[in-house]
A and B are shown apart, each in its own frame.
Chain A
Amino acid sequence: MGQTGKVGKTVIGAALALAAGLCLAAETPDFTGVWTNAGGPGIGGATATNANAATLLKPEAKARIDAYQKLVAKTGDTPGGWCLGTGMPGSMLGSGGYPMEIIQRPEQITVIYEAHSETRRIYFGSRNAPEADRVPGRNGYSSGRWEGDTLVVETNNLVDQIDQRTTSHSDQATIVERYSLDGKDAQGRRILKAEMTMTDPVFYTAPVKLTKRWAEVPNGRVLPYECPEEMWNDHLAKLANEAGVPVP
């Protein structure tokens, strides 16, 4: 085969690969939109699909959680009450009343939870950061892939969150979410389902599994959420009082 033939085959091969890629990309569902709770039992419609997380706790983890809850019981303090984002998996499980917006691109899906304006970025393929560059945080680091019509998101680099409402975990926790469309509700709205599995050998004797559903809000909008306005106003009032002047 001559040089021209080889080049031709390479070009055809590349074109076929590109076409296949485009077709695959076209086949993945588009979750872009604003989503609210689809209702149902549990936190914002989330349902435990195995035993309740509390029943899977290791004794030492339960002791830590009990101590934490005793500490905040009287005041009812929570991270959210102090304008700290909920963190995973609570940010995902609790989203809906304050809606969730998904912006989908092939290389990155961005999820914005209105409460506390928490944002998750789910990276695909080469868009992913090197492991050493991933910054631990309350929502961790998320990478995604498609398995047919299902979006699979793996999250690690989480920090210890004893303060999660029902899904406390250590910094060793990893979370897998499997997102898929689940038909339509009685109003004709698309339903998005997430099946979550959290594995944390430090806190739990077995993976914690929950399923959450959202309904699409047609032409929905996520509102701005600047949590600390109240605290800032209090602080200004304090400064003004100390200075003996009115708040400007």
Chain B
Amino acid sequence: MKTLRYIAMTAFSLCLAAAAGAHHSAVQFDFGKQVQYTGVVKEFSAINLHMRMSIELKNAGGAGTHIVKFEGHSTNNMYRAGYRKGMVQAGQTVTVNAAPYRDGTEGGYVIAVTLADGTFFGMKGRAQDAQRTGDEVRRQAEGR
């Protein structure tokens, strides 16, 4: 039993380490593409090095929901792109434009956010801006 618990704890720790490491690079995102999701904000935090956000989406079949996670720009870049403190709250409906994960995982790197009342922050959100945004992020936040 103790061995099983040890294995489980070790595996959990490794997962956490892998998850933490994954947050430090933008290499897993395809900045040449853009996906769009509309859902309800579950969590949002404007932090550095990357903002974090999760939204609740309706399942494709129509019944039930699931949670999709995102990361994105530094707080600094978000402020320069129009974000202000308190702009995004849990429970709000938002549309998120993101650079998708290369491996097909739902979610991605947030390029722009549009709230239900039309409030917008982010890069322009056009597909042609996504590559520029990604390049800039990599240059500025991850070693230039």
A residues neighboring B (CB under 8 Å): 43-44, 74-83, 86, 90, 93-94, 97-98, 114-115, 163, 165, 223-231, 233-234, 237-238, 241-242
What's the minimum C-beta distance from B121 to chain A, rounded to whole angstroms? Answer: 15
17 contacts between A and B (CB under 8 A): A44-B144, A75-B27, A77-B21, A77-B24, A78-B25, A78-B138, A83-B49, A93-B144, A94-B144, A115-B144, A227-B49, A229-B48, A230-B52, A231-B23, A233-B45, A234-B16, A241-B12
B residues neighboring A (CB under 8 Å): 9, 12-13, 16, 19-21, 23-28, 45, 47-50, 52, 74-77, 79, 136, 138-144
Query: How far apart are the CA atoms of A225 and B19 in the complex, in Å?
Result: 22
Partner of B48, one of A75, A90, A94, A227: A227
Q: What A residues does B49 contact at CB under 8 A?
A: 81, 83, 227-231
Nearest-CB residue, chain A, relative to B143: A78
Nearest-CB residue, chain A, relative to B16: A238
Report yes or no: B140 in contact with A98, Cβ–Cβ below 8 A: yes
Report yes or no: B76 in contact with A94, Cβ–Cβ below 8 A: no
Report yes or no: B48 in contact with A80, Cβ–Cβ below 8 A: no
Q: How many A-B residue pairs have CB under 8 A?
A: 93
Report yes or no: A75 in contact with B21, Cβ–Cβ below 8 A: yes
Query: How far apart are the CA atoms of A82 and B77 in the complex, in Å?
Result: 18
Query: How far apart are the CA atoms of A238 and B9 in the complex, in Å?
Result: 11
Nearest-CB residue, chain A, relative to B45: A233
Q: What A residues does B26 contact at CB under 8 A?
A: 76
Given known pairs A81-B49, A230-B48, the reply for A90 and B143 (CB within 8 Å) is: yes
Report yes or no: A81 in contact with B24, Cβ–Cβ below 8 A: yes
What's the minimum C-beta distance from A15 to chain B, rounded to whole angstroms? Answer: 49
Nearest-CB residue, chain A, relative to B144: A94
Report yes or no: B140 in contact with A94, Cβ–Cβ below 8 A: yes
Query: How far apart are the CA atoms of A5 and B135 in the complex, in Å?
Result: 70
Report yes or no: B144 in contact with A165, Cβ–Cβ below 8 A: yes
Report yes or no: B144 in contact with A76, Cβ–Cβ below 8 A: no
Report yes or no: B142 in contact with A80, Cβ–Cβ below 8 A: yes
Report yes or no: B19 in contact with A78, Cβ–Cβ below 8 A: no
Query: How far apart are the CA atoms of A81 and B75 in the complex, in Å?
Result: 15
Partner of A86, one of B45, B74, B143: B143
Query: How far apart are the CA atoms of A99 and B28 in the complex, in Å?
Result: 27
Partner of A43, one of B16, B76, B144: B144
Q: What A residues does B142 contact at CB under 8 A?
A: 76, 78, 80-81
Q: What B residues does A115 contact at CB under 8 A?
A: 140-141, 144
Q: What B residues does A231 contact at CB under 8 A?
A: 20, 23, 49
Query: How far apart are the CA atoms of A230 and B74 in the complex, in Å?
Result: 10
Query: How far apart are the CA atoms of A80 and B139 in the complex, in Å?
Result: 9
Report yes or no: B48 in contact with A79, Cβ–Cβ below 8 A: no
For the complex of A and B, the 8 pairs showing the least CB-CB separation, nearest first, are A76-B27, A78-B143, A94-B144, A81-B24, A76-B25, A229-B47, A80-B143, A78-B142
Q: What A residues does B45 contact at CB under 8 A?
A: 233
Q: What B residues does A234 contact at CB under 8 A?
A: 16, 19-20, 23
Given known pairs A225-B76, A234-B20, the reply for A97 and B25 (CB within 8 Å) is: no
Query: How far apart are the CA atoms of A43 and B143 in the complex, in Å?
Result: 11
Supply 19 further A-B pairs (C-beta < 8 A) apart from A80-B144, A86-B143: A43-B139, A76-B25, A76-B28, A77-B25, A80-B141, A81-B25, A82-B24, A115-B140, A115-B141, A227-B48, A228-B48, A229-B48, A230-B48, A230-B50, A231-B23, A233-B45, A238-B13, A238-B16, A242-B9
What's the minimum C-beta distance from B51 to chain A, rounded to whole angstroms? Answer: 9
Q: What B residues does A86 contact at CB under 8 A?
A: 143-144
